[in-house]
Chain A
């Protein structure tokens, strides 16, 4: 099955700086890559996703890049704000049914 690895496990940045979280996957059949944000005590919520026919997608301060050849994808948050502090999960899915989640990155934005 698919194996998703996520790095780093913790990340601290100064407010206004950028944050980058990276994930790798093993199954070349995976073609859908969502990112979830989970605030303390809350449910994971989708913040952005990308499909394999696209190399990059952007939504305001958040962007995701995908390199299918290298089997890795990354989340980029620019101009970070304290409310960006949360745990971020990447996931990979093929046209099957399961999502394979990374182990999460705890992001802290220091005011």
Chain B
């Protein structure tokens, strides 16, 4: 099993640009989570999906952030327009069922200049 796959691994962009982060969960996992990690705020849950349906997006910081999961094997997190304070590591994670082990992807390190 390849594990959770994220792309790109690193992204450097300028303020105002659109950023799209991608995630492929582990096959057979019904739950997908997007997290943001910074030194100041730690690991924050942004949004999670169950069977491709967004369940809780209360952690999405503002309307500039949006996430989709068009099918069971692909999800995107989009930031438009990006701001320097969005600079962070964004992790995608998946798990098979409630109470199951959650596995993290390698993360996308985003730097907004």
Contacts and interface: CB of A to CB of B under 8 A. Distances in A.
Interface secondary structure of B, over-half rule:
strand
Contacts of B45: 98-99, 101
A33 to B, nearest CB: 11
A99 B55 CA distance: 14
Interface residues of B, number: 19
Interface secondary structure of A, over-half rule:
loop
B103 interface: yes
Contacts of B33: 99
A97 B107 contact: no
A43 interface: yes
Interface string A71-111: 00000000000000000010001111111010110000000
Given A32-B99, A96-B98, A97-B55, A45 B104 contact: yes
